Every structure is written in C-alpha cells, then in structure tokens.
Amino acid sequence: MVPFATGSAKVTARPSLPPRPDARYRPRQDRRRPGFDAPLREAPSAQPRGCRAGGGAVATPRADVKPVAVIQYAGNDGPGRFADYMAARRLPLCVFQAWNGEALPRTLDGFGGLCLLGGPMSVNDDLAFLRESEALIRAAIGDDVPVLGHCLGGQLMSSALGGKVTRAAQPEIGWIDISTQPDSNAADWFDCDAFSIFQWHADTFSVPAGARHLAASAACENQAFACGELHLAMQFHCEITIEKIDDWIGSEAGRAEIAACAVASVQSPAQIRALTRERIAASLRTADHIYQRWTRNLRL
C-alpha cells in the first residue's frame, strides 16, 4: 500500500479547511486489521494535497465537472485504479488524508461524488473521522450524490445506513472468486455474473435495510450491495494495482500475518503473485466497468 502519488497532475485550489481538533491518528499494532498491518508511511511533504485530475497522469481537470471527494484512511492505501480511471477522463479528485489528520469536508455542496477507500481501523473504533465519514455518507445519499465504498469504505456505508460491521467467520486475503446474487441486476455494476477480485479483510458488513444484496463469496456472504441506482458498497478492493499488491505482501508484517492465517481463504505471497499475473488484467477491466457505471451519475 503506497501513498497517493500526484505526479505532475494539475492541482486546483480548494477552500481552506479548519484543522482537525483531535490529535493525529496513528494506529497501534494491536488495533490493526489483517492486510493493513504494514507500517503506515506518511506522504512526502513535497506532494501537494487537494483537487487534481486522478493520479500521476499529466492532465488538466475538466472545469465543467465537480470533483469527487475521496477519503483516504491509510497512507499505504491510496485510490489506485480509481485515480487512474479518473485521470484518463480528466475527472477531478479531491483527496482528504483522514489518516494524516486532515479535516474532512463539512458538506458535499461542491462535490460531484463521494469515494471512500480502505483502512487499518475497524468501523467500530472510536475515531472522530469515522463518524464524520458516516455523516457524509448519509448526507450524500440524502442529496443523491453518488457514494462508492471500497472495503472499509463499504463497511462505513453499511454502518451509516443502520447495518452492522462484525468480525468475519474467517479472513480473506488474496484473489477471491465472487458470484453475483440472482435477480439482483448485479451485472449492471460488474458486467458479469462471476469474477475474481482482490481482498484483504477480517471484518464483514451486513446489508442494510432497503439496500440490494449484489454479491457473495464462499467465505463471506456479503460482498457488495447497492442503494438505489447511485450508490455501491464493496467488501473487496477493485481499485487494486500490482504496485499495491507488491507493497502489501512485500512487508514483513504482511507476510507474518498471512502465515498466521491457516484457512483456505488466505493465500500465500507466492500464490498471490502467481494469481496476480493471471488475473490483474481482468480485475482492471472489472474496476473500469464499476467506475464507468458509478461516474455516469456524478452530480454536475
């Protein structure tokens, strides 16, 4: 997991935000969840924060589109493929580094969508920025601003809407086969009825009342749900890239964690590397379809 790299993408101004009143959050080793226990690295100070056109591509953001607010919960879990997708289409992102103490937006009035990434903490931890994230989710859904949740972000969507986040029966680490639910219209989001996608989690969410259950795996029944036609919560990491995988499984702590999980849903680093070569191209296509489906409803 690596900090979000801005490269030479154009940075546009964002109104200054008040500093977070609570102290900078640094997860302790005993609070980390499977898959996120590699040391969190701060983004280099030379890298600007704020609104930009996706990731490292040289691009001028479109002036006729509001930026998507992206909340990042770990220095080593940036937007990955999502940033690449947005950059290729000159769609601006505004990344808020919650993990590094940056204040979250108080409203979404100036944003076209809300994207939430993964992180090392549990949704149930007593952290102000998690509760602020849930409030933003509820406000976004109430105002028809599209919301997209990856892993922790999907769990936050469930919690914000009255669902529960609990310890899973067993963790999932590696490339996991996903099947969609009958009569759920899941293919509209995923462009297929079954796919393999990267996972690294030990908690699981319930599908909140009124949401549509979309997908399941052998070890985790609730892999995705949709709220209406605008909002998607995922337990998996469709934003994954080869670089993120190499970082996650390359750390000493990550390898130790995998070794400690002797279950079929946890793959070895060697298995993950081999399967990544086989499956990353299809994963990126699935991610691009998800992002195409989600961004078509961005608020202008």
User: Is 6 within a domain?
Assistant: no
Q: How far is CA 202 from the centre of its chain?
A: 15
* Strand order across the 147-150 sheet: 11-12, 50-53, 92-97, 68-72, 113-116, 147-150, 231-234, 224-227, 212-216, 165-180, 194-205
Query: What is the C-alpha R_g of the chain?
Result: 18
User: Is 172 within a domain?
Assistant: yes
Domain CATH number, residue 113: 3.40.50.880
Q: In the prediction, which pLDDT does 78 show?
A: 96
Is the pLDDT confidence value at 299 over 50? yes
Predicted model pTM: 0.83
Q: In the prediction, which pLDDT does 9 show?
A: 29
Q: Using pLDDT thresholds of 50, 70 and 90, give the confidence band for residue 50.
A: low
Query: What is the sign, positive or negative, of the torsion defined by CA atoms of 150, 151, 153, 154?
Result: positive
User: Is 200 within a domain?
Assistant: yes
Q: In the prediction, which pLDDT does 53 show?
A: 52
User: Is 2 within a domain?
Assistant: no
User: Is 255 within a domain?
Assistant: yes
- Per the structure, how many domains does the chain have? 1
As a whole-number percent, the residues of the chain with pLDDT over 90 amount to 75
Note down the domain range covering 192: 11-295
Mean pLDDT rounded to a whole number for the chain: 84
List Cβ<8 Å contacts ≥24 apart for 207-213.
207/158, 207/163, 208/158, 208/161, 208/162, 208/163, 209/161, 209/162, 210/161, 211/161, 211/163, 212/184, 212/185, 213/181, 213/184
Tens digits of residue pLDDT in 187-209: 999 999 999 999 999 999 999 99
User: Is 3 within a domain?
Assistant: no
SS3 assignment, position 213 = strand
Residue 256 structure tokens: 């130790």
The mean per-residue pLDDT over the stretch 122-147 comes to 98
User: Is 132 within a domain?
Assistant: yes
Decide: 154 and 233 in contact? Cβ < 8 Å.
yes
User: Is 1 within a domain?
Assistant: no
The mean per-residue pLDDT over the stretch 245-269 comes to 91
